[in-house]
Amino acid sequence: MLESMRKHAQGWMAKVILGAIILSFALWGIGDYFTGNQVEAVAEIDGEAIYDVDFATTYQRQLATYANMLGDKFSKELAEQLGVKNETIQTMVNRRLMLLEAQNLGLVVPDEAVLATVQSNPAFRESNQFSTGRYEALVRQMGFASARDYEKYLRQSIMIDTLQKAIVESASVSDAEVKARFNASFEKRVLAALIVNPESLKPAIKVSDEQAREWYDSHTSAYQSPLKVELQVVDINAKDLMDEVSISDEDVAQAYAERQSEFGTPEKRKASHILVRVAKDASQGVLEVAQAKIEAAKKRIDAGESFAAVAKDVSDDVTASQGGDLGYFSRGAMVPEFDKVVFDQLKVGEVSDVVRTQFGLHLIQLNDVKAADVKPLSEVSAKLKDELRREAAVDEAYRLSQDLDNALGMEDSLQAAAASVNLPVQKLGQLSTENVLANPLLGAYDELKKKAFTAMPGDAIEITEVDNGHFVALEVLKRINPKTMDYAEVVKRVYADVTNDLAAKQAQDLAENILRAAQEGKNIQALAQEFGQPMFTSKPVRSNGDGDAAAWLSSSVLRASFGIPEGQWVNHVIPTSAGISVVFVKQVEHADDQVFAAESGKVRDETLKAKGAVRFARWIASVRDRHEITINERVLDRF
């Protein structure tokens, strides 16, 4: 398993994807996905199934995405609260329906669009060039069996995106709608508030022993000792092995010869082409017509017409309007047949014979050559030697991890396995969820921290690659579960918690009393004096908060305040970070028509986008209504 991971997980993107997949398994285990080998339908659309194996792959990707975004905050419980499972199956249903609609409309994604999307993706490039090896490795890490499967998925995605874009962009908005959105967005308000801060009430609160003890007895779950574990680890780190690595001058010279492209700019060539498109499976008759067309173009060029003029007249490629100009590119950027002619056969100014590629028939003219510019060995020798030492240390760390992995399969403990391959074992002693961050190893890697507190004594020991060339095997020797702490241990916390609770309740009651008095007609200054609470007044502020960054102007305050007329109180109290707020709309400043002239274009785009989203939501709802959709909750509940 480690060997496979190492072979394919090269580069940052692969590591992110692979790390996400590993994390999702670490959180819940592969056993949560399947029970037995029976394949079942999670959903059906007009009798056509979406199977659990396909759902599992997609759901796994969704979980991994959330886990990467939220880190330690993400859990299975949070995934349930967020509805990730239902979101995933509904998205899969919508995707299937949109493909049906696209096919019914006759939408087709040409091979060129898929190829261009793949080759323009920076994740698939090395040294700023598309890398076939990197591409194939990454798509496997993303869960696709082959590049062909990924390209099929990509073709479908382009088709779906095209359909969705067409629907969204079919929306139109009137000038009145744009003006209404502008008025709502650019209107400003001056708000006033009386804010009751619970902290200000605490000095007057006296908590009795009886209250504290009663609180403790009814909130014992809040006073649990932290989970503790006793651990031992084997830490294999390439950084610690670098001093043992020796690199000779001959090694450096050989590496320089093999990797010269890393030390400068590779040779680039500028070319133009004329393309007559022919499908790969075209009939002989179609091929003969295309052959005649490209040969006629060649005769015109041979007769003295400029290549660019013929390209503009004949070429089927998007570059025709530029005379077929492809600009400068390096070796490997084009398909192999094209590449070979440009870099191995043509001299500057020459025009090739007819060249066939997957796109059709080409004539190619070489326009210019920019020679490679490579730094000399003497200039990069020291840096290259350090890189070779790091690479050798990483290889040695990997070898040691493999030796340990094999030993773990034969020994019954980490101690015995490490001893058999002469690796030291570190005993970390007792760590708790509260002090683990102080440990230099576990505190630095979330995946180790998670494993330390989820693994059980006796579990199979796995080796985790936490960084390039850094492998850690972790064993839980003892697990000390949380228990309710004695009252005497937490008495200060209990008194503080009771005080906080009473202060919060008193602040809520006082704010509601202020609001009742306000609704009887008392002005805000009189209320501030009567109840002894501070008054705050905002600057003119928009509904999005622009204009005043005061902490009490929360989204809840703004949302409530922009829904009522000038001179009225918000009809409920609003908790904010500053306390419990009673809010009054002091002044309304209508949007400035002069600003509208400058902002109308942006507002129109926002209005169109919002209306387009609504239109698409209604369209997909109508599509769903035309099909029989069944969700198998029993199967879904297994995940």
Q: pLDDT above 70 covers what percent of the chain?
A: 94
| Cα–Cα dist 274/361, whole Å | 8
| Cα–Cα dist 25/59, whole Å | 12
Which tops the pLDDT comparison, 78 or 310? 310
Query: Which pair of tokens denotes residue 224?
Result: 């649990």
Tell me the pLDDT tens digit for each residue of 195-209. Answer: 999 999 999 999 999
Of the CA atoms within 13 Å of residue 253, those in its CB half-sphere come to 3
Report the pLDDT averaged over residues 46-74: 83
Tell me the pLDDT tens digit for each residue of 566-611. Answer: 999 999 999 999 999 999 999 999 988 888 888 888 888 888 998 9
Domain boundaries, the chain: 2-170+628-636, 188-224+487-589, 228-240+396-480, 267-371
Rg (CA), the chain: 34
Fold of 188-224+487-589: Chitinase A; domain 3 (3.10.50)
pLDDT band per the 50, 70, 90 thresholds, residue 404: very high
Residue pointed to by tokens 């309304």: 588
Tell me the pLDDT tens digit for each residue of 516-532. Answer: 999 998 999 999 999 99
The predicted structure's pLDDT at residue 139: 82
Residue pointed to by tokens 């008025």: 183
Report the pLDDT averaged over residues 42-70: 85
Enumerate residues 6+ apart whose C-beta is below 8 A from 487: 213, 216, 494
The predicted structure's pLDDT at residue 33: 35
Task: Answer yes or no: CATH 3.60.70.12 is held by domain 267-371.
Answer: no
CA distances from 461 to 302, 418, 490 (A): 72, 12, 37
Phi, psi of 461 (to 5 degrees): -90, 125
Residue 17, pLDDT above cutoff 70: no
Q: CB 382: neighbour CB atoms within 10 A? A: 10
Residue 50, pLDDT above cutoff 80: yes
The predicted structure's pLDDT at residue 38: 60
Three-state SS for 378? Answer: helix
Please tell me if the domain spanning 2-170+628-636 has the same topology as the one spanning 188-224+487-589: no
Residue 35, pLDDT above cutoff 70: no
Largest Cα–Cα distance of the chain, in whole Å? 107
Give the DSSP letter of residue 202. G
The predicted structure's pLDDT at residue 114: 86
Tell me the pLDDT tens digit for each residue of 268-288. Answer: 999 999 999 998 888 898 899
Tell me the pLDDT tens digit for each residue of 319-368. Answer: 999 999 999 988 888 999 999 999 999 999 999 999 999 889 999 999 99
Enumerate residues 6+ apart whose C-beta is below 8 A from 232: 414, 415, 425, 426, 427, 428, 474, 475, 477
pLDDT band per the 50, 70, 90 thresholds, residue 415: very high
Query: Which pair of tokens denotes residue 57?
Result: 């792959």
Residue 111, pLDDT above cutoff 90: no
Fold of 2-170+628-636: Triger factor/SurA peptide-binding fold (1.10.4030)
Closest C-alpha to 590, from 92, 227, 180? 180
Query: Which pair of tokens denotes residue 613?
Result: 């989203």
Q: Tell the burial category of 205 from Cβ atoms under 10 Å away from its Cβ (0-12, 13-18, 19+).
A: middle
Residue 25, pLDDT above cutoff 70: no
CATH class of 228-240+396-480: alpha beta
Tell me the pLDDT tens digit for each residue of 77-90. Answer: 788 888 889 999 99
Q: pLDDT above 90 covers what percent of the chain?
A: 53
Give this prediction's pTM.
0.52
Residue 254, pLDDT above cutoff 70: yes
Residue 10, pLDDT above cutoff 80: no
Plot region of 629 (φ>0 → left; ψ -120 to 50 → alpha; else → beta): beta
The predicted structure's pLDDT at residue 525: 94
| Cα–Cα dist 590/250, whole Å | 77
Please provide the distance, in angstroms rounded to a whole number, between the alpha carbons at the two ends of the chain: 24
